[in-house]
Amino acid sequence: MYRFLVVIEKADGNYSAYSPDLPGCAATGATREEAEQNMYEAIELHLQGLKEDGLFIPQSTSFAEYVAVR
């Protein structure tokens, strides 16, 4: 099992998603939930492609943290 951080951002009229640990792997959606589901599928396809090409699947090294500022 693999775990990757996914960043979802509000864009103009939709949402976009990407994983810092998987360069080139991105997705969009009309809603946050749709972008998240599309990103899940994009990651599955990305990893499948890496495996088929005999390439290294990177380990996740990214993390996220909210910082409160006054």
Q: What pLDDT, in 10s, does the model give residues 50-67?
A: 999 999 999 999 999 999
H or E element at residue 15: strand 15-18
Fold of the 1-70 domain:
Double Stranded RNA Binding Domain (3.30.160)
Parse the chain into domains and list their residue ranges.
Answer: 1-70
pLDDT tens digits along 14-40: 999 999 999 999 999 999 999 999 999
Confidence of residue 1 (pLDDT cuts 50, 70, 90): confident
Taking CA atoms, 64 is separated from 4, 14, 18, 40, in Å, by: 11, 22, 13, 18
CA pair distance 67, 50, nearest whole angstrom:
34
